[in-house]
Amino acid sequence: MRTRTAVVAALTAALVLTTAAPAPAATGRPSRAAELIGRQALAANDGWAAAGTGTTGGSAAAPDRVHVVRTRAELVAALGGDNATNAADATGKIVYVAGTVDGFEGPDGTPLDCADLADPEYSLPAYLAAYDPQTWGRVNPSGPLEAARVRSVANQTRQTQINVGSNTTIIGLRGARLTGLTLMIDRVDNVIVRNIEFADARDCFPAWSPTDGDTGNWNSQYDQISVRRSEHVWIDHNTFTDGDNPDSAQPVYFGRPWQVHDGSLDVTHTASLVTVSWNRFTGRDKVMLIGSSNTVGPDVGRLNVTVRHNLFDGTLQRLPRVRFGQVDVHENHYRLGGPGFAYALGVGVQSALYAENNFFTLTGDTGPADLLYDWGGTALTERGSWVRQGDRLPRPVSLLAAYNAAHDPDLGGDAGWTPTLRAARPLPAPLVPLAVDAFAGAGRLPL
């Protein structure tokens, strides 16, 4: 068993390594350190993505499939050459991202905006006039304007959804940023994404859903990373934000916020064997949805995900929200509370969530009973949680007991499984903020 002294010494050594890392070479080629890290595979037993054949990404890429990219066009070319077919390119590849790559960038580098992607028959003012619930009623939009919105969405999808094939590593050099785009990992195997800041994957054409909730809601389509129908995916040391386009700055239409952002990292549509480690999620609303539907079917036995050593900072919900899968959530730091906060761990239909040694720093009137939400589940295993509430001293707390004392019906305390895919024994929860705050997020790897 690791002692506290040994853990602190290891963390200090790692911090020295990270802060002493060299910058990328002036020639634009990755440094030797970057070349080595770009070929790293996920360690044995490191979460669900280590199951079976493990996750190696593009570690075996030939020299001619190793690229440094600085534009959207270069990113698409490095991933295979044609965004429409890149998901089928299973050749091993390593893509280093340098600087900022913007999804709203035309083939010639010209900046695009929402007007450039809109169908000629689409107009937001006309849309708002046509489907105002006061006149249209609480039924789904239909007709020419809705059809034009759907065509506009198709235009944006072709532009801002970047498709990733199997056997791929995408890794950021110092300061790498992907903005205004979605990395789509769909129907593929063996993908690694590391050391990148993801910002503002905005939807130009949100859908109005009049029966979503009591008064309807606007819903956006684009996640920052979407993992669908895929296996062996490792998402590590990334940062997820809304950039300079926060939800709080959006207008209100039909009495509801104009929602231009969806999830940070969603794992859906039968995807499985995913490890999410050392990431930083900052100031986002919807963060991580595991399982997209309550329908019992192909998702059963899938959606197995490990979520470890991540920082959830000022986020509002889905940290994660789980359906069906065996999801191991351990050693994460949650800094939560304030306006808009909804819940941390969502216990959904047939979910088997195992939460261990997580640390919660709470502000405002948010308390331990607010950290779980029952989305139709029946049980979770929760152990080793610690809470620091306001100015109080940190203390061990049973989130499950606090939730059950405040809500009916109770959730059971046994998720029905015990994780075995862990590369090391968990840190004691009081040490989790020290480790996670120092090392989670982009810019912490020696690249």
Is the Cβ–Cβ distance between 288 and 316 less than 8 Å? no
Residue 108, Cβ density class (10 Å: 0-12 exposed, 13-18 middle, ≥19 buried):
exposed
Residues 369-379: b if buried by 16+ CB within 10 A, e if exposed: ebbbbbbebbb
* SS3 state at 76: helix
| N- to C-terminal Cα separation, the chain | 31
Active site (annotated) includes residue 318: yes
Integer-rounded Cα Rg, in Å, for the chain is 22
Residues in the chain, total: 447
Is the Cβ–Cβ distance between 56 and 190 less than 8 Å? yes
Catalytic one among 65, 318, 388, 444? 318
- Amino acid at position 51, single letter: A
For residue 69, the number of C-alpha atoms closer than 13 Å in the C-beta half-sphere is: 28
What does the angle CA 160 – CA 164 – CA 166 come to, to the nearest 5 degrees? 170
Backbone angles phi, psi at 96, to 5 degrees: -95, 130
- Helices and strands (H, E) in the chain, number of each type: 9, 32
Active centre residues (catalytic): 318
